[in-house]
Amino acid sequence: MAFTKKVPLGVVGAITPFNYPVNLALHKIAPAIAAKNTVVMNPSMEAPLAALRLAEIINNHFPDGVINSVTGYGSEVGDAMVVSTGINKISFTGSVATGLFISSRAGMKKLTMELEGNDPLVILEDADIERR
């Protein structure tokens, strides 16, 4: 017999990348909210506006404090989130090197990491590359 007990963790730190800023932010925010957690999001400084707008839209439909956004470089804001005792889980998408750094600094925090995705593209010989 097996069962799952869903217990909120508290605060989830979501560190998002520049590519697919809305999609990848939602991959972190939606499960956290569904599990009754709050979120502190640090969007990439290379593309923060879409993720910040997403947080604004979500905040219009949830109580204050469910989604919180903190902008700044990952080396400063992200690192502060990773070592913070007020954040119980880190969800990160990015490089293997940064993922290893986060895991070395996070202590006993729960971590979810998507590191250097491998999305190959195959172009067949008969592809009409010039066609639009």
Question: Given a cut of 80, is residue 120 above it in pLDDT?
Answer: no
Nearest to 82 by CA among 8, 14, 34: 14
DSSP state of 35: T
Percent of the chain with pLDDT over 90: 79
| Distance of alpha carbon 53 from alpha carbon 113, whole angstroms | 23
Contact 66, 59 (CB under 8 A): yes
Rounded Cα gap, residues 9 and 132, in angstroms: 48
Calculate mean pLDDT across residues 8-22: 95
Please provide the average confidence, as pLDDT, over all residues in the chain.
Answer: 92
pLDDT one-digit tens code per residue, 26-81: 999 999 999 999 999 999 999 999 999 999 999 999 999 999 999 999 899 999 99
